[in-house]
C-alpha cells in the first residue's frame, strides 16, 4: 500500500492538493501514481494561465507512457516547479515535496471541499487494485 499523507486532499485522477498558508493550493501526483508510471523522464509544466476545474494542464511522461495532469479546481496557475525541467525524476523520488508540479489561486474555496480526503483516496486505489 503506497503512502497517502493525511493532511492532503486528492482527486480521482491521482493528483494531491495541499492548501498553503496564503490560501493558494499546491498540486502534484500521488506516490501511487508515480509508482504506476515508472521512471519519469519528462514533465511539460503548465502555462501560467486561468483554468477550469478538470482541464488538462500538464503532462508527466515516464519511459513507458504519457499521463495528463488535470487542474483539481477552477482558478489561476501562478507558479510551476521549474526544477522538474532538468530533474523530472523528483516526482519519483519525492512525489509529495520536491516533486510538486504547480501552484494555483483558487476561484472558489467551496470547490476544495469536494475533493477526496486521504481516507477516501486510499479506498479508491484499493478498489482499483
Partner 1 sequence: MKTTCLHQAHIDAGAKMVDFGGWDMPINYGSQIEEHHAVRKDKGMFDVSHMTVVDLVGQDSEKFLLHILANDVRKLKDSKALYSTMLNENGGIIDDLIVYKRANNNYRIVVNAGTREKDLAWFEKQISNFDAQITEQPNLAMIAVQGPNAIAACLTILPKEISAQLSELSKFSAIDADDFYIGRTGYTGEDGVEILVEEKNAIELWNQLLQAGVVPCGLGSRDTLRLESGMHLYGQDMNEDISPLECGLAWTVRKVDVNFVGSQALMALRENGVKRKMTGVVLTERGILRHDQELVDDKKMTGVVTSGSFSPTLDVAIGMAIVDKDMTDNVKVQIRKKQLPVKLIKLPFVRNGQSNI
Question: Residue 52 half-sphere exposure, CB side, CA atoms within 13 Å?
Answer: 1
Q: How far is the CB of 113 from partner 1 (least distance, A)?
A: 32
The stretch near partner 1 (CB under 8 A) out of 11-19, 59-67, 98-106, 118-126 is 59-67
Tell me which H or E stretch contains 112.
helix 110-113
Under DSSP, the state recorded for 63 is S
Residue with Cβ nearer partner 1 (39 or 120)? 39
Residue 117 lies near partner 1 (rule: CB under 8 A): no
Cα(128)–Cα(81) distance, rounded to whole angstroms? 29
Gap between the Cα atoms of 21 and 99, Å rounded: 19
Using CB under 8 A as the binding rule, whether residue 108 contacts partner 1 is answered as: no
Region binding partner 1 by CB under 8 A among candidate stretches 19-27, 62-70, 73-81, 118-126:
62-70
Show the cell assigned to 88: 523530472
Do 41 and 67 meet the contact criterion of CB atoms below 8 Å apart? no
112 interacts with partner 1 by CB under 8 A: no
Q: Would you tell me which residues interact with partner 1 (CB under 8 A)?
A: 35, 38-39, 41-42, 44, 59, 61, 63-64, 66, 85
Amino acid at each position: 500500500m503506497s503512502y497517502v499523507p493525511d493532511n492532503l486532499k486528492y482527486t480521482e485522477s491521482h493528483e494531491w492538493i495541499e492548501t498553503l498558508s496564503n490560501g493558494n493550493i499546491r498540486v502534484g501526483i500521488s506516490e501511487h501514481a508515480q509508482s504506476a508510471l515508472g521512471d519519469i523522464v519528462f514533465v511539460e509544466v503548465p502555462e501560467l494561465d486561468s483554468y477550469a476545474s478538470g482541464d488538462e494542464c500538464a503532462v508527466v511522461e515516464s519511459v513507458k507512457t504519457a499521463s495528463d495532469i488535470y487542474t483539481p479546481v477552477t482558478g489561476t496557475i501562478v507558479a510551476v516547479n521549474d526544477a522538474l525541467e532538468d530533474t523530472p525524476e523528483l516526482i519519483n523520488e519525492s512525489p509529495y515535496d520536491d516533486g510538486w508540479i504547480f501552484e494555483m489561486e483558487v476561484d472558489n474555496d467551496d470547490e476544495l471541499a469536494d475533493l477526496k480526503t486521504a481516507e477516501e483516496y486510499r479506498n479508491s486505489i484499493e478498489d482499483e487494485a
